Structure 1
Amino acid sequence: MVPNVTGLPPLHALMYFEAVARLHSFTKAADELCVTQSAVSKQVRNLEHSLGFALFERQHRSVKLTAAGDELIAASQPLIRALRECVTRIRHSHGGNVVTVICTQAVAHYWLFPKVVEFNQLRPDVTVHIISTNEITVESCAEHDLGVLYGKGNWSSLSCEKLYDEEVYPICSMDFESPDIEKPEQLLGLRLVQLDPQKWHWMNWEDWFNHFDVKYVPTANVLVYNQVTLTLNASTRGLGVALGWDFMTKDMIDSGMIRRLGPYSFKTGRSDYLVHTASRPLSPAAQAFKAYLLDTVNAKR
């Protein structure tokens, strides 16, 4: 390994390491961080490469810290905890009528931002700040007033309200030329727009096809982007077929911007939840924005 001697290791990778070390499991860390196990493994490997030494001994069904890992976790856990507490104190002491909401970039762009615009027309006295990042975790949600978190809703430290279930299906532009889709494997013959599996921690075409027992091998002409916003934009402009998440694409379909391609849909059993830390009461401004979001969701059910 070649160490990075330029300074401190990347903080986001350190957070992944801390979760694995605390939970003694890459799988449990992935569940807590709301990403795939491979994403956790990649971040830990990046951290080990940056530091120049191994942090874990990989065993068959468990992980064990090396001596260096023991030393790093002992030093980093109090610092991470203190940083979280400091940010929380500052945010709440200076917040006033300011509400911070953390979510993924796709949720921010396609769902949350329009809601903020509508809410500000009703409550101009409340300022809502959106923090969009795909490195969202249980811990980062607790550092803000509210968060939109993907998973099964089983986070003991958070209060959770379901927003929408995950449903994913192929979408394309209105004038995209394609045959009638009578079986999922017909999609393999079309130009697909793929999410970069190295940058995207959630579902992509391989996962979607696996659900229908179809083997997917990317073709030479596949378009690869690292954000949902880019894949949907490419599909809207007729460049290919992308995966569409129902909560993002339903309004676009209803307005005639895009169309579903075929009848096949994957309901994953996971959902997006509006969350906030269970140990701290919400400010009146945050309570008002939370109530508004839940009212808008319930009105469409």
Structure 2
Amino acid sequence: MSKFPPLFCLVAFEASARHMSFTKAAQELHLSQSAVSRQISQLEEFLGRSLFERSRGQMQLTVAGLQYAEDVRSMLNMCNEATSRVMAGNAAHTLTVACSSGIASHWLPQRISAFTKQNPDTRVRVVVRDNFRSLVTAEYDVGLYRFNEVPEATNTVRLFEERVFAVCSPMFLEEPVKCSRDLTRHRLIGLEDGERTWMSWDSWFRVQGVLGLHIEPHITANRFPVVLELAMAGQGIALGWIAIVERFLEAGLLVKASSVGASLGGTYYICWPQDSGFNPARQRFIDAFRDFACTDEPDQ
């Protein structure tokens, strides 16, 4: 194995070759762009060959890089499949649940508690990934994600539709604004979203028919739970997905800053890889969470 390069360099190279972008690879791998660039340089030094040609802000694979990308992708897929086979031996009583940070922090805990009471012999592991596409099939058994379009090779069961409201602390705003445009007079909190799959303030206002705005939030965070904590601390108005914020509204920790909601057509789903075999623990999870969705779908 003396000729085997560091695995993390191969993962960074495969993502960079697939996206043809260090920046997009970094977003997928939850690394900085400079970290990905260093890993590619380390791999090129190890190989003694250039893998990318870089000129005028654009990049493309060299002839060697093109072939190497195919080989590395094949090797990583084989590793993924081998891992899935090994992990399948524990499938009856173990379950890895993947979800976004917002779902993990503010929607999942109460439901997972009910699930584990119903299934005391099932061991549950939660993996938090805001970007579903950064997951590989070996990493999770079942996911809880919001999609505008269901990704390829993914099975789904619908939970509930997306609905997004402007929310804030009752200390920040005494009563809802009468006109959505009036929200621009207040401090807004935004969610950084490199994949541009979540609703931004610009798109929220556009759905409301308020056109021609380009909103620069006063405060931004790259995790939705942080956005909510800032809103509850009275730091401004945030966009809140009703499934996640409903319990804070009921508790009086948040109020709607505007009476109207918006949607980009997204839906929350239970999801799992199509190429995965039957998993008894996953099926119990699907049945339970489908029942939860029927009984507690949020008011919109």
TM range (shorter): 0.7 to 0.9
Equivalence map 1:41-52=2 (5 Å): 47=36, 50-52=39-41
The gaps in structure 2 that reach 5 residues or longer are 42-49
The gaps in structure 1 that reach 5 residues or longer are 1-5, 27-35
Would the aligned equivalents of 1:9 and 1:51 in 2 still touch at CA under 8 Å? no
Deviations 1:240-263 (A, max 9, x none): 111101110122212322111112
Would the aligned equivalents of 1:163 and 1:294 in 2 still touch at CA under 8 Å? yes
Indicate whether 1:245 and 2:233 are aligned: no
Q: TM-score, normalised by structure 1?
A: 0.77
Q: Match for 2:264 among 233, 253, 268? A: 268
Partner of 1:215: 213
CA distance in 1, matches of 2:80, 2:32: 21
Equivalence map 1:4-15=2 (5 Å): 13-14=12-13
Partner of 2:288: 292
- Cα offset, 1:82, TM superposition: 1.8
- Cα offset, 1:38, TM superposition: 11
Partner of 1:3: none
Deviations 1:131-189 (A, max 9, x none): 11224227525642111233234334221111122221210112223564222221111
- Cα offset, 1:19, TM superposition: 4.3
Relative to 1, partners in 2 of residues 1:283 and 1:136: Cα closer, same or farther, differing over 3 Å?
same
Q: Percent identity?
A: 20
Backbone CA RMSD of aligned residues: 3.6
Would the aligned equivalents of 1:55 and 1:66 in 2 still touch at CA under 8 Å? yes
Equivalence map 1:10-29=2 (5 Å): 13-14=12-13, 16-17=15-16, 19-20=18-19
Partner of 1:79: 75
The residue identity in structure 2 corresponding to 1:108 is A
Deviations 1:176-217 (A, max 9, x none): 235642222211111111223459863332333344324134
Deviates more, 1:95-104 or 1:190-199: 190-199
The residue identity in structure 2 corresponding to 1:115 is R
Q: Match for 1:93 among 89, 98, 102? A: 89
Relative to 1, partners in 2 of residues 1:199 and 1:283: Cα closer, same or farther, differing over 3 Å?
closer
CA distance in 2, matches of 1:277, 1:130: 17
Would the aligned equivalents of 1:48 and 1:54 in 2 still touch at CA under 8 Å? no
CA distance in 2, matches of 1:184, 1:214: 14
Indicate whether 1:121 and 2:81 are aligned: no
Secondary structure (helix, strand or coil) at the match of 1:150 reads strand
Partner of 1:33: none
Greater C-alpha Rg: 2
- Cα offset, 1:297, TM superposition: 0.2
The residue identity in structure 2 corresponding to 1:51 is I
Partner of 2:127: 131
Relative to 1, partners in 2 of residues 1:49 and 1:201: Cα closer, same or farther, differing over 3 Å?
farther
- Cα offset, 1:112, TM superposition: 1.7
CA distance in 2, matches of 1:106, 1:176: 22
- Cα offset, 1:294, TM superposition: 0.6
The residue identity in structure 1 corresponding to 2:40 is L
Would the aligned equivalents of 2:142 and 2:272 in 1 still touch at CA under 8 Å? yes
Relative to 1, partners in 2 of residues 1:283 and 1:197: Cα closer, same or farther, differing over 3 Å?
closer
Would the aligned equivalents of 1:181 and 1:187 in 2 still touch at CA under 8 Å? yes
CA distance in 2, matches of 1:123, 1:247: 24
Q: Match for 1:169 among 139, 152, 165? A: 165
CA distance in 1, matches of 2:211, 2:9: 38
